[in-house]
């Protein structure tokens, strides 16, 4: 039975890939795919072969050593050396913070302050900008007018006049130990806790209260911590006043 199809219907069937067989007519050739009949879209000209060579550059990257292998010996050895050097602290013999006041009194009067702080010069704890700030901190408490204030310099490495902390405490029997800085606090208390934890709770050694706070060298780098350091100094002064009553 012949199909009564008009030209439009036949074109639609051919687009769908359906071949029509008409009586007495040769089979129509299969339509070419639409992609083959459509003219090629204009495109940019292909780059020459030489231009493709930069794309092959990443293939040569594995020949270079990985970035983590070469620096590994130096990056791991340097912090270890610094940590070892940072632990080499020696407590030097204490000396009067203000010798004129001590000489006028003849003998240290109670209550006694023992200030443990890292110093660049054993003979002059008030040297340099750090020493000037240390002096200002003690003067703010009016300790420059008291004869019983001693400084035990904390030095890196061995020193010519070492003094054991226990011997110093037994000789002076201070009312309070002011440990300025993390090395000083750890040396006095014999612990490895961070300074924030040591400041947050009462500390003592040989039955003597210890007040850890920030070192002058740190306060020069972080002036925003001066208020917290001043609060610690006032707390130490309150301890001395209570022990004197």
Task: Give me the CATH number covering residue 131.
Answer: 3.40.470.10
Domain assignment present for 80: no
Q: Whole-model pTM above 0.75? A: no
Domain assignment present for 147: yes
Domain assignment present for 213: yes
Nearest CA among 108, 110, 89, 99 for reference residue 154: 89
Instruction: At 20, give phi and psi (nearest 5°).
Output: -95, 135
Question: Structural domain of residue 157, as residue ranges?
Answer: 90-243
Is residue 223 predicted with pLDDT exceeding 90? yes
- Choice among 7-11, 130-134, 173-177, 198-202 with the minimum mean pLDDT: 7-11
DSSP H stretches of helix in 141-243: 165-172, 182-189, 195-200, 216-221, 226-243
Domain assignment present for 5: no
Using one digit for the tens of pLDDT, what is the confidence trace for 77-87? 333 333 333 45
Domain assignment present for 211: yes
**pLDDT value at residue 88:** 74
Across 205-209, average pLDDT:
94
Domain assignment present for 50: no
Domain assignment present for 167: yes
Using one digit for the tens of pLDDT, what is the confidence trace for 104-135? 767 656 668 999 999 888 889 999 999 999 99
Contact criterion met (CB below 8 Å) for 228 and 211: no
Using one digit for the tens of pLDDT, what is the confidence trace for 18-72? 555 555 544 445 444 444 434 445 445 544 444 444 444 444 444 554 444 333 3
Using one digit for the tens of pLDDT, what is the confidence trace for 151-197? 999 988 765 555 678 888 988 899 999 999 999 999 999 999 999 99
- 226-243 and 128-140 helices cross at what angle (nearest 10)? 50
Domain assignment present for 110: yes
* Domain count within the chain: 1
Across 193-216, average pLDDT:
96
The residue count for the chain: 245
**pLDDT value at residue 244:** 78
Is residue 98 predicted with pLDDT exceeding 80? yes
Using one digit for the tens of pLDDT, what is the confidence trace for 230-242? 999 999 999 999 8
């Amino acid at each position: 039975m012949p199909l009564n199809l008009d030209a439009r219907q036949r074109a639609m069937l051919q687009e769908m890939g359906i071949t029509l067989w008409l009586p007495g007519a040769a089979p129509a050739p299969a339509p070419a795919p639409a992609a083959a009949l459509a003219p090629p879209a204009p495109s940019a000209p292909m780059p020459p072969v030489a231009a493709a060579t930069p794309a092959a550059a990443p293939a040569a990257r594995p020949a270079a050593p990985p970035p983590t292998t070469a620096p590994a010996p130096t990056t791991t050895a340097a912090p270890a050396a610094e940590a070892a050097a940072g632990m080499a602290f020696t407590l030097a013999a204490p000396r009067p913070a203000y010798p004129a006041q001590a000489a006028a009194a003849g003998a240290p009067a109670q209550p006694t302050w023992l200030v443990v702080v890292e110093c660049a010069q054993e003979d002059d704890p008030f040297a340099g900008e750090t020493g000037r700030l240390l002096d200002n901190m003690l003067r703010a408490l009016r300790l420059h007018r008291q004869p019983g204030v001693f400084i035990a310099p904390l030095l890196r490495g061995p020193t010519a006049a070492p003094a054991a902390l226990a011997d110093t405490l037994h000789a002076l029997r201070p009312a309070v130990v002011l440990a300025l800085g993390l090395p000083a606090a750890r040396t006095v208390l014999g612990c490895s806790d961070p300074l924030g934890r040591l400041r947050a709770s009462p500390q003592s050694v040989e039955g003597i209260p210890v007040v850890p706070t920030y070192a002058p060298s740190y306060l020069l780098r972080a002036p925003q911590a001066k208020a917290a350091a001043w609060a610690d100094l006032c707390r130490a002064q309150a301890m001395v006043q209570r022990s004197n009553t």
